[in-house]
Structure 1
Amino acid sequence: MEPIEIIAVSLLSKRASNLSKSLRKISPRYIYLKVKSDHLDISLRFEMWYNVELSLYFYKENALDLADAMLRNRAFTHENTGLSASQWLERVLDVTNCESLTKVSVDGTPRFDVCDAFATLTKLPSLLIKESCGERLAKKTLEILSPVTAKVELLKIPYENREEFQTFLKTNLNYLFINTHDFSSFTLDDLLVTNALKVELLRVTLRLRDLNQFLTNWFHSKHNSRLEHLKFRIFKSFDETCLPEILNAFPTDQERTFRYSKQLDTHLKTFSGGYDIERADGKKSTITFESKFGMMFTDFYIWP
């Protein structure tokens, strides 16, 4: 039997699920869950050339041709399986011998309850909140999953209230990636309270004045968060005279390797050049600049 057939059989009943597990172990290399407005999608990759896609529809009228749903379209409905979102997800993960999903993306405003399914996840490498995700669901998803997620990627910021957003930023995130078109949605004040180990801002452009204020706060030990690596861009040419004099920054050509304290997108990062900064308490950092596409891409590393 092909993996898709084994998974289909496992959805018939608990007994069929146990039988499917015991007779053949299937272990995908990658499992990606997508939450849509009326269904769930799971993509499983076993090898580079072999992918399996499953869908669970909660409203039969919205499903595609279900005449041969078990195999041809790899689609199921809540009606013909009798499974809720959490039961379906648990069954698929169980029969695939998978410790955790690889990635979850939340899109649209589902008319079904997916939060129970999220609550069953105890480990998640990556969470993506898409632009069309409803604010209520986005906030609830972040509340449930961000404590167990290695990387949180926001294509929208679902918090209209600045205080509520900053409360989220103060949590112990590992990797926060903000990729939003709304330039005003992330400010210097937000950056100063962020407590993630790694922060990457794409399409969020800080002014040179914001950068200098951030570095000055760090130099005076006013920014003692868990931050280890900040990546962002500025719309302005840079030279060493742009850095505040108080930093005593000096250029270096040395090649070095930076290691994160936790497993993130990579354990280490090798780079050369930039400017070293050391504050009075002995804490050291390095800031690097790279000019591309008329913008300045900046990395700020804080050494352990």
Structure 2
Amino acid sequence: MTTPFPLLRLPRLALIPVFEHMKPIEIIAFSLLSNKAENLVKMLCKITAGSIDVVVRSRYPRITINLGDGTLVELSLYTERGPDVGNKMIQNKTISCEKGSLTVAKLVERIASVTSCESLEYVELRGPLQLEVCNTLTQLTELGTLAVMDDCSDSFAKKAFEIVSTVATEITLYRIPFETRHEFQNFLKSNLNSLYFYSCFSKFTLDDLLVTNALKLKLRQVKLSARVISQFLTNWFHSKCDSRLEHLTLRISDVFNETRIPEVLNAVPFPRNRERTFRYSKKLDTLSESFRGGYDIKRTDGKKATIVFGAFYGGTLFDFYVWPCYSVFRFV
């Protein structure tokens, strides 16, 4: 019969070389044993995480820890007891435990604590509403990306939006969790930072564009017609669109001949051999965007914008930049 080794009874100085021979994932697993184990890890080990990514599934959440040296530590949490699974054990980068003995929220909280990571970089939601995950989100003061996947329930997505919409740098939607146009547009009017649509949502309309209040709106797999884009530009020029929007990027479903830019805009072409840099007013997924050419427009209230076209198979790429008031903007 094997006698368990009383690791927690060792003097602290004796524990240091033990931890030095343990892999980061083993140290993290050790910290989950108890509050005493957590405190020992924080006191005697130095594990620094640059970011933590969480994929929330109803049965087995997956967590990726990006350590300070660039090393990735990946693990999954199984909350259903299987054959030969103890209270808590780690095998093949998987932490297994009895259902109810360790929650996703507690796991993320403990990992963040022992790695000195103050925020989550990426949270991916799948499956039905999980209130204990939402409780974890309420503790965040900063979140890189919240991604709502195809199989995420409407209730889960909406609850997460309520919690992190003001602290998330980016919200990415692979499905639209709203049943009515009114509900959807109320969401679009929120003071979001970056809002990305990767959903085939064919009902995205001109009115949706005009009310969107995010700083950056990216539409992928959502194609609008050249007519809708012309209407949007005209509405913006006449100050009928006065949101926080700084950058709109999308694909036009047909080829947009640049000569079809509405004449009322008085668009001035910028040389294609000269590059310009657009800087966002807040730190988003990137601090700035660089591009060449384009068309500059200026409306009567002094707001200035640039229209940039690109090509892709079967259509046109469209970028619309609204320059902050402090930007240097010159017509050529």
Q: What TM-score comes out, normalization by structure 1 length?
A: 0.92
What code does the residue aligned with 1:148 have? V
Of the candidates 39, 47, 50, which is equivalent to residue 26 of structure 1?
A: 47
What code does the residue aligned with 2:179 have? E
Deviations 1:224-256 (A, max 9, x none): 111111000102222233111111112111421
Unaligned runs of 5+ in 2: 1-21, 325-332
Secondary structure of 1:71's match? strand
Answer yes or no: is the 8 Å Cα contact 1:101–1:125 preserved in 2.
Answer: yes
Is 2:118 aligned against 1:90?
A: no
Is 2:78 aligned against 1:60?
A: no
Q: Which residue of 1 aligns with 2:3?
A: none
Answer yes or no: is the 8 Å Cα contact 1:155–1:178 preserved in 2.
Answer: yes
Of the candidates 185, 189, 192, which is equivalent to residue 170 of structure 1?
A: 189
Is 2:300 aligned against 1:280?
A: yes
Secondary structure of 1:246's match? helix
Q: Which residue of 1 aligns with 2:225?
A: 207
Secondary structure of 1:141's match? helix
Q: Which residue of 2 aligns with 1:38?
A: 59
What code does the residue aligned with 1:273 have? G
* Higher Rg of the two aligned structures: 2
How far apart in 2 are the matches of 1:110 and 1:242?
47
Q: Which residue of 2 aligns with 1:130?
A: 149
How far apart in 2 are the matches of 1:16 and 1:208?
61
How far apart in 2 are the matches of 1:66 and 1:214?
59
Q: CA 1:81/1:137 → structure 2, altered by over 3 Å: closer, same or farther?
A: closer
Moved more, 234-243 or 145-154: 234-243
CA-CA distance at 1:163 after TM superposition = 0.9
Q: Which residue of 1 aligns with 2:330?
A: none
Moved more, 34-43 or 150-159: 34-43
Is 2:276 aligned against 1:256?
A: yes
Q: Which residue of 2 aligns with 1:247?
A: 265
Q: CA 1:138/1:78 → structure 2, altered by over 3 Å: closer, same or farther?
A: farther
How far apart in 2 are the matches of 1:28 and 1:113?
23
Answer yes or no: is the 8 Å Cα contact 2:90–2:96 preserved in 1.
Answer: no
Answer yes or no: is the 8 Å Cα contact 2:81–2:99 preserved in 1.
Answer: no
Moved more, 216-225 or 74-83: 74-83
Deviations 1:38-59 (A, max 9, x none): 1321111337874222222233
Q: CA 1:55/1:81 → structure 2, altered by over 3 Å: closer, same or farther?
A: farther
Q: CA 1:275/1:218 → structure 2, altered by over 3 Å: closer, same or farther?
A: same
Q: Which residue of 2 aligns with 1:143?
A: 162
Answer yes or no: is the 8 Å Cα contact 2:268–2:295 preserved in 1.
Answer: yes
Q: CA 1:86/1:111 → structure 2, altered by over 3 Å: closer, same or farther?
A: closer
Of the candidates 174, 184, 195, which is equivalent to residue 155 of structure 1?
A: 174
CA-CA distance at 1:26 after TM superposition = 0.6
Secondary structure of 1:102's match? strand
Between 1 and 2, higher relative CO (CA 8 Å, sep ≥ 6) is seen in 1
Question: What is the aligned length?
Answer: 301
Q: Which residue of 1 aligns with 2:121?
A: 102
How far apart in 1 are the matches of 2:104 and 2:257?
54
Q: What TM-score comes out, normalization by structure 2 length?
A: 0.85
Answer yes or no: is the 8 Å Cα contact 2:280–2:287 preserved in 1.
Answer: yes
Answer yes or no: is the 8 Å Cα contact 1:66–1:75 preserved in 2.
Answer: no
Secondary structure of 2:296's match? strand
Of the candidates 197, 205, 208, which is equivalent to residue 187 of structure 1?
A: 205
CA-CA distance at 1:60 after TM superposition = 2.4
